[in-house]
Structure 1
Amino acid sequence: MSILFPCHLVGKLEKENLCLACPSYNRYKATRQTAIDPNTQNEVKLFDPQQQLWADHFTWSEDTTEIVGLTTIGRATISTLKMNRLQLTRVRKMWVKMGEHPPNI
């Protein structure tokens, strides 16, 4: 399973600057570096998988079909990248039944 977050590449295009990303998340992110936390309405930086730990900003819902934001960064990232779209929660439910979800992040 790939990392589910887009990477912002800085500097030279080198192997250590690359990570796997979901194409739909990349479309929603586009060139954004910040977004609005839906709880506080504050503008915050989006999650950066090369600089931050997933578990510091996100967790899984009890049934592991939705990603839950633990921080302003997590909530803004989930909202902006539409990480809990109906299609994703449906496929996650199927993956849970198959024993393939949640991933070890």
Structure 2
Amino acid sequence: MSGETIQLFNPRQQKWTDHFGWSADGTRLEGINAIGRTTIVKLRINNPVILIARKRWVISGWHPPLD
């Protein structure tokens, strides 16, 4: 958004909870900082197909993960 180059999240070097959280309904991954937001956009983590799947997972009690 700012035009600044931002690195993507690296799970080998960074802690997931420092960069991401789940929406109140558990279907959308939300970035809590620039690295998280950039990773979500670039990897299309909240694409329409996965949002439908996550909604079903929430209804089934499988999602979001507890840790």
The TM-score with structure 1 as length reference comes to 0.61
Matches of 1:92 and 1:67, distance apart in 2: 10
Q: 1:90 deviation in Å?
A: 0.5
Q: What is residue 95 of structure 1 aligned with on the other side? A: 57
Q: What is residue 62 of structure 1 aligned with on the other side? A: 24
Give the letter for the 2:10 counterpart.
D
Q: What is residue 44 of structure 1 aligned with on the other side? A: 6
* Structure 1 residues 61-82: Cα deviation after superposition (integer angstroms, max 9, x where no partner): 1111000111110010000000
Mapping of residues 1-105 of structure 1, within 5 Å:
39-105=1-67
Q: CA RMSD in A?
A: 1.0
Higher RCO (CA-CA < 8 Å; seq separation 6+): 2
Q: 1:103 deviation in Å?
A: 1.2
Determine which structure has more spread, i.e. the larger CA radius of gyration: 1
* Structure 1 residues 38-93: Cα deviation after superposition (integer angstroms, max 9, x where no partner): x3231111000111111100101111100011111001000000000000110000
Which runs of structure 1 show a deviation greater than 2 angstroms over 4 or more consecutive aligned residues?
none
The TM-score with structure 2 as length reference comes to 0.93
